[in-house]
Amino acid sequence: MAQMNMKEAIRDAMRVEMKRDPNVLIFGEDVGHAGGVFRVTEGLQKEFGEQRVIDTPLAESAIGGMAVGLGVQGFRPIAEIQFVGFIFEALDQILVQAARMRYRSGGRYHSPIVFRTPFGGGVKAAELHTDSLEGLIAQTPGIKLVIPSNPYDAKGLLISAIRDNDPVFFMEHLNLYHAFRDEVPEGEYTVELGKANVVREGSDVTILAYGLMVHTAVKAADELEKNGVKAEVIDLRTLVPLDIDTILASVKKTNRVIIVQEAQKSAGIAAEVIAQINEHAILHLEAPVLRVTAPDTVYPFAQIEDQWLPTPARIIEGVNKVLEF
Partner 1 sequence: MSKIPYEVYTEDVEALTVLSPDGEIINKAKAPDLTDDQLKELMYRMVFTRTWDDRAVNLGRQGRLGFYAPVSGQEATMVGSEFALDKEDFVCPGYRDMPQLVWHGLPLYQAFLYSRGHQHGGQIPEGVNVLMPQIIIGAQVLHAMGIAMGFKLKQQKHVAITYTGDGGSSEGDFYEALNYAGVFNLPVIFFVQNNGYAITTPFAKQTAAKSIAHKAVAAGIRGVKVDGMDVFAVISAVREAAERARNGEGATLIEAVTYRFRPHSLSDDTSKYRTKEEEGQWSEKDPIARLAKYLEKKGLWTEEDTARVKDEAKAKVNEQIKKAEQTEKMTIPGLIDSMFETTPKHLEAQKADFQK
Q: Which helix (H) or strand (E) holds 321?
A: helix 312-323
- What is the Cα–Cα distance from 44 to 30, expressed in whole angstroms? 12
Pick between residue 239 and residue 319 the one whose CB is nearest to partner 1.
Answer: 239
Q: How far is the CB of 288 from partner 1 (least distance, A)?
A: 23
DSSP 257-287: EEEEEEEESTTSHHHHHHHHHHHHHGGG-SS
Q: Is 110 in the site for partner 1 (CB under 8 A)?
A: yes
Q: Pick the binder of partner 1 from 5, 45, 82, 97 (CB under 8 A).
A: 97
Q: Say which residues have a Cβ less than 8 Å from residue 5's Cβ, sequence separation at least 6.
A: 151, 177, 178, 179, 180, 181, 182
Q: Which stretch binds partner 1 (CB under 8 A): 108-116, 200-208, 221-229, 246-254?
A: 108-116
**What residues are annotated to the active site?**
129
By CB under 8 A, the residues from 252 to 311 that bind partner 1 are: none
Give 325's DSSP letter: -
Q: How far is the CB of 49 from partner 1 (least distance, A)?
A: 11
Q: Is 59 in the site for partner 1 (CB under 8 A)?
A: yes
Pick between residue 245 and residue 306 the one whose CB is nearest to partner 1.
Answer: 245
Q: Pick the binder of partner 1 from 241, 266, 306, 313 (CB under 8 A).
A: 241
Q: Pick the binder of partner 1 from 1, 108, 283, 304 (CB under 8 A).
A: 108
Q: Is 72 in the site for partner 1 (CB under 8 A)?
A: yes
Q: Which stretch binds partner 1 (CB under 8 A): 66-74, 229-237, 261-269, 298-306?
A: 66-74
Q: Pick the binder of partner 1 from 18, 67, 145, 247 (CB under 8 A).
A: 67
Q: Is 91 in the site for partner 1 (CB under 8 A)?
A: no
Q: What are the DSSP E strand ranges found in the chain?
A: 2-4, 24-28, 53-55, 76-80, 114-119, 144-146, 168-173, 182-184, 197-200, 205-209, 231-235, 238-240, 257-264, 290-294
- Cβ(123)–Cβ(178) below 8 Å: no
Q: Say which residues have a Cβ less than 8 Å from residue 107's Cβ, sequence separation at least 6.
A: none
| The total number of residues written for the chain in this structure | 325
Residues that bind partner 1 (CB under 8 A): 25, 51, 56-57, 59, 61-62, 64-75, 92-93, 96-97, 102-110, 141-142, 164-166, 194, 241-242, 244-245
